[in-house]
Chain A
């Protein structure tokens, strides 16, 4: 997310919820948001890979951000969604989130870089913190959340 540092530039993020925390995903990666559907489990893969889904005739892998970040396991509710991400290296992949809230536009001044503790696994997935209307949004660094090789 180098472009965030360019002064005065704005970036749009989709705000999602995982547990009580709000996270932001850069909108340029997002292809689609779909409702929760049946996920076919794939044996012998990393635990955070939940399986594959049928997205209009394409088979797309789905991963759990929660398991990847060491949060409690996903609880599937009515508001759970699968966000389909299109990444350069990793291809198309879906991630499960608890809730999709809104789209926000942040400019560089509203984004604070994090000085994280390298021992804290969870902090490593975050590229910055966005301040928006009094709330804080942790901005996910998708290249860390979605590793190149599962």
Chain B
């Protein structure tokens, strides 16, 4: 595991060079350089990121005059944010530039013969944006030495997919676009909370845990026949892990429930566990492709005593 810092440190310099070359004022803001990824992934991620940054600088940001006209600050901003999200590492490249001109993309794709006008009619915005990843696609009207050589986003995409990650684009015309790279943490070490449910041990990634609460059974209320708790003014649904994991609970009539509060985005849920074991660093191991139907399990790990414990994907539970 190495921090992505080693790759991203060269980017500010690159952006400054680009700024001169393109004659646009821009600033790069980075965060999460300490986010760790597997070394093999870090070695590979540099080129795709550089490509996305060049893309933002060249195609994304508008010229100073146009920015002024639109009431944006003259200096364009490009953001590079990395963070861990559950069992993924997310790297976002964001700019406050023009965004993706879906009409332009559509017309270009028709010109290039990638799609027919009829097909274009029925495509939604997302499908059109996906065309950018099509081989041999470049929307820059003028080919510069910065970008627009035809080897483009399709290479970025295939590279990221080779690392079993995915690329997603969010864009708003006139406001900017965000490129989201999501890489799995396979082979990675995470901090996890080990819990007992019935006679089985499970690991929950610490990243998704907010708090651990001791809830009296009388505080559990029913809403639409679902158990919820009112935790400091927030209503949080309870999920009995022993039920969704089909484990006979060893304690049936407890007075207090141990509830692990997990969050996904702005959604929260309380996972009811039998016992807390403690915090531990675990190595995520894949369970192979044979067992892949079980969405709530994101992987397995081998404990100190050689036993296999499963890793709960709190995101899938919510």
Contact = CB atoms under 8 A, between A and B. Distances in A.
Contacts of A90: 290
Nearest to B284: A59
Interface string B213-242: 000000000000000000000000000000
Given A40-B200, A53-B308, A59 B287 contact: yes
B291 A42 contact: yes
Nearest to A87: B290
B129 to A, nearest CB: 32
Interface residues of A, number: 23
Given A40-B300, A44-B296, A52-B300, A91 B290 contact: yes
B246 A42 contact: no
B288 interface: yes
B contact patch SS: loop
A52 B308 contact: yes
A38 B306 CA distance: 9
A49 B291 contact: yes
Contact of A44 (B246, B287, B309): B246
Contacts of B287: 42, 52, 59, 61
Contacts of A59: 285-288, 300, 302, 308
Interface in B261-289: 285-289
A44 B296 CA distance: 9
B142 interface: no
Contacts of A53: 308
Contacts of B290: 49, 61, 90-91, 93, 150
A150 B291 contact: yes
A61 B291 contact: yes
B192 interface: no
A41 B296 CA distance: 13
Contact of B246 (A43, A46, A60): A43
A45 interface: yes
Contact of B302 (A43, A51, A57, A61): A57
Contacts of A46: 293
B293 to A, nearest CB: 6
Contacts of A54: 302, 306-308
B310 interface: yes
A37 to B, nearest CB: 8
Contacts of A150: 290-293
Interface in A49-101: 49, 51-54, 57-61, 90-93
Could you say which of B291, B296, B300 has the most chain A C-beta atoms within 10 Å of its C-beta? Answer: B291
A43 B245 contact: yes
A81 to B, nearest CB: 18
Interface string A91-135: 111000000000000000000000000000000000000000000
A45 B302 contact: no
B303 to A, nearest CB: 9
A123 B244 CA distance: 35
Nearest to B245: A43
B204 to A, nearest CB: 14
Contacts of A51: 308
B297 interface: yes
Given A45-B294, A52-B308, 9 more contacts: A40-B309, A43-B246, A52-B291, A54-B306, A57-B302, A59-B300, A59-B302, A150-B290, A150-B291
A-B pairs with lowest CB-CB distance, top 9: A40-B308, A43-B245, A59-B300, A59-B285, A44-B294, A61-B290, A54-B302, A54-B308, A61-B291
Interface of A: 38, 40-46, 49, 51-54, 57-61, 90-93, 150
15 contacts: A38-B307, A38-B308, A40-B307, A42-B294, A42-B310, A43-B244, A43-B246, A43-B247, A43-B296, A46-B293, A54-B308, A58-B285, A61-B290, A90-B290, A150-B290
Interface of B: 200, 244-247, 285-297, 300, 302, 306-310
